[in-house]
Structure 1
Amino acid sequence: MPKFRPVTHVIFDMDGLILDTEKLYKSTVAAIVSDYGKIYSPEVRLAVMGTKAFDSAKIIVESLNIPITVEEFATRAKEEQAKVMGDANLMPGAERLIRHLHYSKVPIAIATSSSHENFVLKTAKHAELFRYFHHIVKGSEDPEVKEGKPAPDIFLVASRRFQAMPPPEKCLVFEDSPNGVKAAVRAGMQVVMVPEEYVPDEYKQDATIVLKSLLDFKPEDFGLPPFPN
């Protein structure tokens, strides 16, 4: 059994990890690119997962050679996603884990590439649960987050905003995207990866541990209070 380091603080990604939004992103982007005779391939999806909205638009436009500007694509994507993101459901095990950590007095935070506007839209149905987080870093507009994932900025900023300012090695990150995993590792943190099924194995190698679902996570592996029987 691998040896994990004990941690004191936990940082969560949001899209595809807490909220089941990746399929909503996929359907809206696929619809847009199909207007130009393009296909939103798994390779491009992997490249944009976890990145800031504008960075995602740039990758999609350039990778698929779409004949519009990055700004035009980003605007249209934002409009289409606004129509569906309010329906986002929670991923399996997310609520159970968040409540457990909160009631166990483990400080928790969110590090999301979303803007404030998108965050409010996506979390509206689950506002009570999101109040459990000590703080939320929104990478798309936070002035301290200079570079988006896979750069480590967002996780380092999130760790510094905890009251105790724990060192990176005392923070555990939960991520679904390869870009997010790279960012966490570069920040010097352990990372639990819960990837989508289509993510190839070679994109999972940097993770401390890979799980099929948050339901499979054992807090005691990382020195955190175990779930009650």
Structure 2
Amino acid sequence: MTPVPVSFGKKAFNNVTHVIFDLDGLILDTETIYKSVITAIANQHGKQYSNVIRIKLLGSPDTDAARICVSEMKLPMTKLQFLTEFRQRSKLLLASCPFMPGAENLIKHLHKHKIPIAVATSSSKDSADLKTAKYKNTFDLFNHIVTGGSDPEVKHGKPSPDIFLVCASRFKDLPDPRKCLVLEDAPNGVTAAVEAGMQCIMVPDEHITREQTLHATQVLQSLKDVQLELFGLPPLR
């Protein structure tokens, strides 16, 4: 996949001062685990977990994902029952999920150059803590982590802009949202970032269509391909 800058009638890129990361499928390879666990739950009830449904879940809080799965696959269980089984099956796997290509290097590079960075994830705090505990030293480099699944200030999940606006407001210097660059993998997340007035680099799942990427500022195959200098930031070496 080649980079696809989207200019919206203006120059494609503007300088930024702060960077906000999504977590699942962007920093950590959790989506592979989610797919395996949900497929197993679906199969035990004779249902199929399709890529169409999976794309709908990307960037969604756990409770919304559970509702979508039960509804779309017509599973004979409640949303709470699904969520309980999902969490039990995935707990050990999520505690050891690996970094996505280029993620750790990019985080350390930005921190080294004193660029304020944060995480805005739809996960609950308990879920985020489970997934990041193994890499505490790396995640301690972030100014803060906003967990939309349990944070009372995040009233609406992605694609609402709430989580990114809350995240920006928690930087000490209170940057203008236009000075924040978001890194996302999910269409819902990109929509949320754009609605918040932020530029957004998208590193999409392989099953996401081109049409679902068109609202991103730039589309890349991997975080290793990020050209920070396009946004006025120190280039990766």
Normalised to the residue count of structure 2, the TM-score between the two structures is 0.94
Q: AA paired with 2:53?
A: V
Specify which of 216, 221, 226 is matched with residue 217 of structure 1: 226
Distance 2:236 2:138 in 1: 18
> Please, which runs of 5 or more residues in structure 1 have no aligned partner?
none
Distance 2:19 2:119 in 1: 9
More displaced stretch, 71-80 vs 132-141: 71-80
Flag as ranges the 4+ runs of structure 1 deviating above 4 A: none
1:167 equivalent to 2:176? Answer yes
Distance 1:161 1:173 in 2: 15
Match of 2:133 in 1: 124
1:157 equivalent to 2:156? Answer no
Distance 1:15 1:148 in 2: 14
- Cα shift readout 1:27-52 (whole Å, capped 9, x = no counterpart): 00110011111111111111111110
Match of 1:178 in 2: 187
Distance 1:151 1:124 in 2: 28
In structure 1, the residue corresponding to 2:95 is in which secondary structure? Answer: helix
Structure 1 position 102, deviation (Å): 0.3
Match of 1:52 in 2: 61
Q: AA paired with 1:62?
A: S
Q: AA paired with 2:171?
A: F
In structure 2, the residue corresponding to 1:11 is in which secondary structure? Answer: strand
Structure 1 position 83, deviation (Å): 2.4
Normalised to the residue count of structure 1, the TM-score between the two structures is 0.97
Distance 2:176 2:120 in 1: 16
Match of 1:65 in 2: 74
Distance 1:74 1:105 in 2: 39
Specify which of 97, 102, 117 is matched with residue 88 of structure 1: 97
Taking only the aligned residue pairs, the percentage that are identical comes to 52
Match of 1:204 in 2: 213
In structure 2, the residue corresponding to 1:99 is in which secondary structure? Answer: helix
Q: AA paired with 1:69?
A: T
Q: AA paired with 1:201?
A: R
- Cα shift readout 1:102-156 (whole Å, capped 9, x = no counterpart): 0100000000111121112111221100000000000010000011111111000
Q: AA paired with 1:158?
A: C
Distance 1:205 1:175 in 2: 13
Coordinate RMSD, CA, aligned: 1.0
Where do 1:124-143 residues align within 5 Å?
Answer: 124-143=133-152
Match of 1:99 in 2: 108
More displaced stretch, 112-121 vs 186-195: 112-121
